[in-house]
Amino acid sequence: MKAIVVHEFGAPEVMRLEDVPVPEPQGTEVLIRVRAVGVNPVETYLRSGNYPSVPALPYTPGKDAAGVVESAGNGVTKWKAGDRVYTANSVSGTYAEYTLVDERDLGKLPENVSFEEGAGIWTPYATSYRALFQKLNVTKRETVLIHGASGGVGIAAVQWSKNAALTVIGTASSKQGQELAREQGADIIFDHSAEGYLNEIKEFAPGGVNAIVEMLANVNLAKDFDVLAMRGRICVVGNRGSLDFNPRLLMGKDATVTGMALYNSTYDERDEIHAAVFDGLSHGYLKPIVSRSMPLVQAPQAHHEIIESKALGKIVLIP
């Protein structure tokens, strides 16, 4: 089969399309014929080698994909050949024609969801669900700021928030990103690259926002307190550096700052997320937005674009 293989850490171009053997499922592993792969920023951090824990070389990147069950190990009880699924992890990497996944790390892909859309499910929807409902514990009629609403996680967070009857404030820096977040349910959108946008948020929500899903904490965490309500909560989802921070900001507003990494979630938390995702996709209030779809061989270009371009939903690779 064809698969992207990384032999050395470095620039996107270290990812090469190669011929490798199709892996064989053992025990509780399931072999998936991958039809579409979801690209996430973390795969660029890992590929560069600049991340707290990096994979052993050589490796095939990727955790998110959608496809069809090809075969299953003799310990598999939940899935059979032909089932349409999305992946929530991968043993062998998803940037490939086939991938091995433990049966607990698969979700059922509803018939009304295409494989391309399915590739953009797990990381964005699970991350945003966990931030909103398992960390920030948002409740009806609260106001939430999705600080970075145009990307994979942000769009998913907007859709969850809208369905939960929250007032949704989003931010994006391009016109198309702003338009997309608005179409997906944001009540109002501001431009996080414009001077004074936090003042505009304060005008819109004079009492402050109750909860913030933060996509770029090293840039925004201190500023978030300008718009946070008394007893407000912030969940750090994305971060690309460090900052100078005065903890007194927390005291002044009785605030809570929490962080999360999806890979820390328990299987109980994940089962709750899979059930919520299935409900949302089936009923149509969740709808993954694919902005760009490209052949697997263009994985290097996908990595350039996800870091260097303005966000607009998901980038998907087709093996």
Residues 15-54 that bind ligand NAP (CB under 6 A): 40-42
End-to-end CA distance of the chain: 10
Which range in 7-15, 73-81, 142-150, 224-232 contacts ligand NAP by CB under 6 A?
142-150
192 binds ligand NAP (CB under 6 A): yes
Going by C-alpha positions, the residue among 221, 188, 217, 218 that lies closest to residue 202 is 188
Going by C-alpha positions, the residue among 140, 123, 209, 129 that lies closest to residue 170 is 209
CB of 61 to ligand NAP, least distance (A): 14
Nearer to ligand NAP, 124 or 232 (CB): 124
Q: How far apart, in whole angstroms, are the C-alpha atoms of residue 82 and residue 70?
A: 6
| DSSP secondary structure letter of residue 133 | I
Among 23, 25, 177, 319, contact with ligand NAP (rule: CB under 6 A): 177
Going by C-alpha positions, the residue among 67, 90, 124, 87 that lies closest to residue 291 is 124
Among 17, 101, 153, 166, contact with ligand NAP (rule: CB under 6 A): 153
Q: How far apart, in whole angstroms, are the C-alpha atoms of residue 292 and residue 10?
A: 24
Nearer to ligand NAP, 44 or 92 (CB): 44
Among 38, 93, 152, 208, contact with ligand NAP (rule: CB under 6 A): 152
Contact letters (x/-) for ligand NAP, 203-222, by CB under 6 A? ------------xx--xx--
Q: How far apart, in whole angstroms, are the C-alpha atoms of residue 148 and residue 168?
A: 12
Among 109, 138, 172, 255, contact with ligand NAP (rule: CB under 6 A): 172
Assigned token pair, 47:
């590929």
Share of the chain residues as helix, strand and coil, in percent rounded to the nearest 5: 35, 25, 40
Among 90, 143, 150, 184, contact with ligand NAP (rule: CB under 6 A): 150
Tell me if 317 sits within 8 A of 36, measured CB to CB.
yes
Contact letters (x/-) for ligand NAP, 246-265, by CB under 6 A? --------------xxx---
CB of 309 to ligand NAP, least distance (A): 7
Which range in 52-60, 82-90, 167-175, 205-213 contacts ligand NAP by CB under 6 A?
167-175
Among 104, 253, 292, 310, contact with ligand NAP (rule: CB under 6 A): 310
> Within 13 Å and on the Cβ side, how many CA atoms surround 287?
12
CB of 221 to ligand NAP, least distance (A): 10
CB of 125 to ligand NAP, least distance (A): 10
Phi, psi of 132 (to 5 degrees): -75, -45
Which range in 74-82, 108-116, 119-127, 200-208 contacts ligand NAP by CB under 6 A?
119-127
H or E element that contains 106: strand 106-108
CB of 237 to ligand NAP, least distance (A): 5
Q: How far apart, in whole angstroms, are the C-alpha atoms of residue 128 and residue 115?
A: 21
H or E element that contains 272: helix 267-283
62 binds ligand NAP (CB under 6 A): no
Report the largest interatomic distance among the alpha carbons of the chain, rounded to a whole angstrom: 60
Which residues of the shown chain bind ligand NAP in the complex (CB under 6 A)?
A: 40-42, 123-124, 127, 147-154, 171-174, 177, 192, 215-216, 219-220, 237-238, 260-262, 306, 310-311
